[in-house]
Amino acid sequence: MSTAAIAGGAPASGRGLTITAWSVAAVTTTLAAASVLLEMFGPGPAATSADPDAGAGGVGLVVIQTVMASAFAVLGAVVVSRQPRNAVGWLMVLIGFFFTYIAISNELYLQVVLNTEETSGVIPYVLWGANWAWLFAMVPAVTFLPLLFPTGRPLTPRWRALVWFAAAGVALSFIGSAFQAGPLDGSEAVDNPLGIDVQAIEIFRGLGSLCLIPAALASVPSLILRFRRSSGTERQQIKWVAVAALLLPIAPITGWVLGNDASWPLILIAMLVVAIAITIAMLRYRLYDIDVVINRALVYGSLTATLAGVYVGSVLLLQLVLSDLTQGSGLAVAASTLAVAALFRPVRGRIQKAVDRRFFRSRYDAARTIEAFGAQLRDEVDLSALSADLQAVVTETMQPAHISLWLRDVKVSVR
Confidence label for 1 from pLDDT (cuts 50, 70 and 90):
very low
Average pLDDT over residues 252-256: 81
Residues 226 and 257 in one domain: yes
Residues 227 and 99 in one domain: yes
Does a structural domain hold residue 411?
A: no
Give the chain's radius of gyration (CA, Å): 29
Largest Cα–Cα distance of the chain, in whole Å? 110
Q: Give the whole-angstrom CA distance, residue 41 versus residue 178.
A: 31
* pLDDT given at position 144: 92
Q: Give the whole-angstrom CA distance, residue 17 versus residue 214.
A: 32
* Most confident of the following: 49-58, 71-80, 378-387: 71-80
* pLDDT given at position 23: 94
How many structural domains is the chain composed of?
Answer: 3
Q: Give the whole-angstrom CA distance, residue 331 versus residue 341.
A: 15
Does a structural domain hold residue 410?
A: no
What mean pLDDT is reported for the chain? 77
End-of-domain residue from the set 260, 275, 294:
294
Does a structural domain hold residue 277?
A: yes
Q: Residue 115: in which H helix or E strand, if any?
A: helix 114-116
pLDDT of 9 over the 50 cut: no
pLDDT of 115 over the 80 cut: no
Q: Give the whole-angstrom CA distance, residue 222 versus residue 159.
A: 8
End-of-domain residue from the set 237, 263, 294:
294
Q: At what angle do helices 199-229 and 157-178 cross, to 10 degrees?
A: 150
Confidence label for 227 from pLDDT (cuts 50, 70 and 90):
confident
Contacts with 98 (C-beta within 8 Å, 6 or more apart), sequence order = 133, 134, 136, 137
* pLDDT given at position 167: 92
* pLDDT given at position 53: 42
Other residues' Cβ atoms within 10 Å of the Cβ of residue 7? 7
* pLDDT given at position 216: 87
Q: Give the whole-angstrom CA distance, residue 407 versus residue 415.
A: 25
* pLDDT given at position 171: 92
Closest CA to 271 of 21, 75, 56: 75
Q: Give the whole-angstrom CA distance, residue 80 versus residue 283.
A: 10
Residues 111 and 246 in one domain: yes
Does a structural domain hold residue 405?
A: no
Looking at the DSSP assignment, which residues form a beta bridge with residue 183? 191
Does a structural domain hold residue 301?
A: yes
Average pLDDT over residues 112-123: 73
Asked if 17 and 24 count as a contact pair (C-beta separation under 8 A), the reply is no
* pLDDT given at position 312: 77
* pLDDT given at position 394: 61
Other residues' Cβ atoms within 10 Å of the Cβ of residue 223? 20
Per DSSP (E only), the strands in 111-266 are: 183-184, 187-191
Reply yes or no: is the peptide bond before residue 154 cis, omega within 30 of 0: no
Residues 193 and 342 in one domain: no
Residues 259 and 116 in one domain: yes
* pLDDT given at position 5: 39
Does a structural domain hold residue 404?
A: no
Q: Give the whole-angstrom CA distance, residue 211 versus residue 219.
A: 13
Residues 76 and 150 in one domain: yes
* pLDDT given at position 354: 72
Between 175 and 285, where is the model more confident?
A: 175
Between 128 and 59, where is the model more confident?
A: 128
Residues 329 and 385 in one domain: no
Asked if 230 and 239 count as a contact pair (C-beta separation under 8 A), the reply is no
Q: Give the whole-angstrom CA distance, residue 226 versus residue 281.
A: 15
Average pLDDT over residues 214-225: 88
% of the chain with per-residue pLDDT over 70: 69
Q: At what angle do helices 331-359 and 290-321 cross, to 10 degrees?
A: 150
Average pLDDT over residues 346-353: 75
Confidence label for 356 from pLDDT (cuts 50, 70 and 90):
low
Q: Give the whole-angstrom CA distance, residue 86 versus residue 83.
A: 6
Looking at the DSSP assignment, which residues form a beta bridge with residue 196? 180
Looking at the DSSP assignment, which residues form a beta bridge with residue 191? 183
Contacts with 112 (C-beta within 8 Å, 6 or more apart), sequence order = 118, 123
Confidence label for 263 from pLDDT (cuts 50, 70 and 90):
confident
Confidence label for 408 from pLDDT (cuts 50, 70 and 90):
low
End-of-domain residue from the set 294, 322, 339:
294
Residues 346 and 253 in one domain: no
Residues 121 and 230 in one domain: yes
At 145-187, the pLDDT tens digits run: 999 998 888 888 888 888 998 999 999 999 888 888 888 876 7
Q: Give the whole-angstrom CA distance, residue 262 versus residue 255.
A: 5
Does a structural domain hold residue 382?
A: yes
Residues 193 and 254 in one domain: yes
Residues 306 and 264 in one domain: no
Q: At what angle do helices 263-283 and 232-245 cross, to 10 degrees?
A: 170
Between 320 and 92, where is the model more confident?
A: 92
Contacts with 233 (C-beta within 8 Å, 6 or more apart), sequence order = 284, 287
For residue 321, the enclosing domain spans: 295-359
Confidence label for 93 from pLDDT (cuts 50, 70 and 90):
very high
Between 324 and 83, where is the model more confident?
A: 83
Confidence label for 72 from pLDDT (cuts 50, 70 and 90):
very high
Closest CA to 65 of 231, 229, 275: 275
Q: Give the whole-angstrom CA distance, residue 166 versus residue 144.
A: 8
**Coil, helix or strand for 190?**
strand
Q: Give the whole-angstrom CA distance, residue 72 versus residue 341.
A: 42
Least confidently predicted of 57-71, 112-126, 150-164: 112-126
Closest CA to 113 of 184, 161, 31: 184
pLDDT of 138 over the 70 cut: yes
At 77-86, the pLDDT tens digits run: 999 998 898 9
Q: Give the whole-angstrom CA distance, residue 65 versus residue 100.
A: 8
Least confidently predicted of 211-225, 261-275, 364-378: 364-378
* Most confident of the following: 37-41, 88-92, 288-292: 88-92
Q: Give the whole-angstrom CA distance, residue 100 versus residue 111.
A: 16
Could you tell me the CATH number of the domain that includes residue 17?
Answer: 1.20.1070
Does a structural domain hold residue 170?
A: yes
Residues 289 and 299 in one domain: no
